[in-house]
């Protein structure tokens, strides 16, 4: 069995609280946050019962690389990566919405369109589109940030009417979202990939908007392979993807979409390893680097050691 990090439960000097999200353990300090990317995996807003080896390291490394690369577009929270699974930085006050942007009709957007909707989050969609078609232009389809249960689609007008974000800040969030998506699209193209859709989370620190959380990872984004994309569309075939969508598809095929009364299908060792291999594939395709699995089997011990080293010198 490959080693995996399911959860942490550390107690550090100055720690205010530990918040366990779907896939991250977040340690809060007075002015800092420390995020441990576990190997837990979620789909349809449900955490699946078995962790995926290497997933946390892969997501954390891709996110850190992309945060560094996008600082010229928008400031972000990240200050240090003391361990392959850990990020540390500024504690921002998060906005209560996630900025989702879509360049193609895929995933949730396609399922809504297939079921007859011709507007998503108040944005009209043209008739005659097929699954995975490129949209006339990228559209922003925000969601609320649910602390429990499912995130919900919400329109720009509803966000402003409910006072979730001021109009001045929302205009800036839209600008940053479009600029980040343009950058991500350009970078993906260099790797033979299409950035289909993604989400960004933002917060505020001392009155300034910061990009927070992960950026352009397989958990927050969907990628197609450029090669063969149009041929597959013309033949009505499914697209070859580098994203977590393959996990969702496996669940759907096995009768699970996170609905009440549905049972999560059995995650055999083969299933777990196949998902792990797909994450490694995405890392290598997206970064152009060979993935280096952890040398130590005891990931928990290594993570704690590296965090304490950082905090002692902070």
Within-domain flag for 190:
yes
Candidates 198, 173, 200; CA nearest to 188 is: 198
Within-domain flag for 297:
no
| Per-residue pLDDT of the chain in tens (314 residues, 90 and over written 9) | 789 999 999 999 999 999 999 899 999 999 999 999 999 999 888 999 999 999 999 999 999 999 999 999 999 999 999 999 999 999 999 999 999 999 999 989 999 999 999 999 999 999 999 999 999 999 999 999 765 556 789 999 999 999 999 999 999 999 999 999 999 999 999 989 999 999 999 999 999 999 998 899 877 899 999 999 999 999 999 998 877 778 888 999 999 998 889 999 999 999 999 999 988 987 888 888 999 888 888 999 999 999 999 999 87
Alpha-helical regions (H) of the chain: 55-69, 107-114, 156-161, 167-190, 229-235, 245-253, 269-287, 299-313
pLDDT reported for residue 146: 63
- What CATH number is associated with residue 187? 3.30.470.20
Within-domain flag for 222:
yes
Within-domain flag for 125:
yes
pLDDT reported for residue 296: 81
Question: Helices 269-287 and 245-253, interaxial angle, to 10°?
Answer: 150
Angstrom distance (rounded) from CA 27 to CA 10: 9
How many structural domains does the chain have? 1
Task: Give the tokens for residue 186.
Answer: 């350009």
What is the span of the domain harbouring residue 189?
95-204+214-243
């Amino acid at each position: 069995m490959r080693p995996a990090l399911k959860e942490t439960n550390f107690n550090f000097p100055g720690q205010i609280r530990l918040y366990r999200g779907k896939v991250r353990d977040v340690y809060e300090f007075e002015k800092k946050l420390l995020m441990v990317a576990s190997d837990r995996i979620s789909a349809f807003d449900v955490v699946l019962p078995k962790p995926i080896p290497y997933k946390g390291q892969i997501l954390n490394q891709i996110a850190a690389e992309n945060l560094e690369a996008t600082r010229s577009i928008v400031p972000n929270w990240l200050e240090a990566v003391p361990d392959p699974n850990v990020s540390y930085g500024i504690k921002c006050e998060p906005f209560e919405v996630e900025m989702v942007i879509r360049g193609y009709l895929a995933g949730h957007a396609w399922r809504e369109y297939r079921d007859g909707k011709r507007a998503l989050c108040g944005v009209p969609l043209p008739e005659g589109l097929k699954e995975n078609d490129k949209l006339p232009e990228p559209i922003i389809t925000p969601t609320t940030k649910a602390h429990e249960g499912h995130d919900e689609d919400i329109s720009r007008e509803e966000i402003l009417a409910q006072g979730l974000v001021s109009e001045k800040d929302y205009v800036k969030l839209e600008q940053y979202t479009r600029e980040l998506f343009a950058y991500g699209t350009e970078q993906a193209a260099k790797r033979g990939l299409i950035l289909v859709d993604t989400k960004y989370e933002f917060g505020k620190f001392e009155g300034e908007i910061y990009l927070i959380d992960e950026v352009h990872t397989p958990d927050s984004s969907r990628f197609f392979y450029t090669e063969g994309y149009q041929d597959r569309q013309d033949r009505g075939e499914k697209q070859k993807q580098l994203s977590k969508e393959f996990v969702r598809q496996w669940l759907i095929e096995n009768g699970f979409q996170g609905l009440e009364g549905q049972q999560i299908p059995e995650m055999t060792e083969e299933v777990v390893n196949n998902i792990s291999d797909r994450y490694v594939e995405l890392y290598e395709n997206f970064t152009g680097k060979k993935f280096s699995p952890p040398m130590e089997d005891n990931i928990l011990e290594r993570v704690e050691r590296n965090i304490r080293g950082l905090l002692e010198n902070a």
